Amino acid sequence: MIDIHCHILPGLDDGAQFLEDSITMAREAAKEGIHTIIATPHLNSQYDNRKQSILESVNQLNRALTEANIGVTILPGQEPRIYGEIIADYEREEIQTLNGTQFLFIEFPSNHVPRYAEQLLFDVQLKGLVPIIVHPERNSEIIERPELLYRFVEKGALAQVTASSLCGYFGKKIKQFSEQLIEANLAHFIASDAHNVNNRTFKMSEAFDLVDSNFGIDYVYLFKENAELLIAGSNIVKEIPAPIAKKKKFIFF
């Protein structure tokens, strides 16, 4: 398996704090059958992780994993919180796309979608990049207004659902919404967003078992193939998206 979203680099953000933590996470990933991980440290107001420092940290961790005889390869990535200068910073070589491909993570604030998001996603695509919206199932505005994500995907963006969300570790509501996103072809990747081996671990095998049970093995193959296509910089498999029907609210008098 390939995990395209993981906070495994030591000391860069709220994920692994020390090299020993990174090695422990890699061992846990290997137990789940994960052989390749894209390291995606945060880039936001709290964590200022730029391309060069990410590349250096990836190289150091790969050397450590080789010495520890752990069969997991780390590739470079980044998780930028959406901001207006992201294209300018990309042109300044400060933004790290996923494994140096055309695919770029975009994170929204957890409680809303900025008004300029649609224009920025469009501008990102004009630069030849493909934006991937991370964990939309945990965004409170998208949960209430799923038509936002539908519009973004319809206009060329992709979306990545977190394995732990699908497995219910963020609550029943987020689990149900994650399933709705898959059913509506509004999810193109499943990734761990792992931060540690305790409360924010991988859960990839569990998630794919659920996908198999609820949607069939073809969806498992689709998500796994898309991760492979992503790291190769190839076009990913997309089904036609569908709007998620809003549940009617009944008022009783």
Question: What's 198's domain CATH number?
Answer: 3.20.20.140
Residue of 51, 57, 46, 54 lying closest to 19 (CA atoms):
57
pTM above 0.85, yes or no: yes
Residue 78 domain-assigned (yes or no): yes
Residue 169 domain-assigned (yes or no): yes
What is the count of structural domains for the chain? 1
Residue 245 domain-assigned (yes or no): no
Q: Which residue type, as a one-letter code, is found at position 102? A: Q
Residue 68 domain-assigned (yes or no): yes
pLDDT tens digits for range 68-115: 999 999 999 999 999 999 999 999 999 999 999 999 999 999 999 999
Contact 34, 2 (CB under 8 A): yes
Range of the domain at 215: 2-232
Both structure tokens of 156: 């060329």
Judged by DSSP in three states, 68 sits in: coil
Q: Which residue type, as a one-letter code, is found at position 169? A: Y
**Dihedral sign computed on CA atoms, order 77, 237, 131, 182:** negative
Residue 166 domain-assigned (yes or no): yes
Residue 242 domain-assigned (yes or no): no
Main-chain dihedrals φ then ψ at residue 42, nearest 5 degrees: -65, 145
pLDDT tens digits for range 111-158: 999 999 999 999 999 999 999 999 999 999 999 999 999 999 999 999
Residue 93 domain-assigned (yes or no): yes
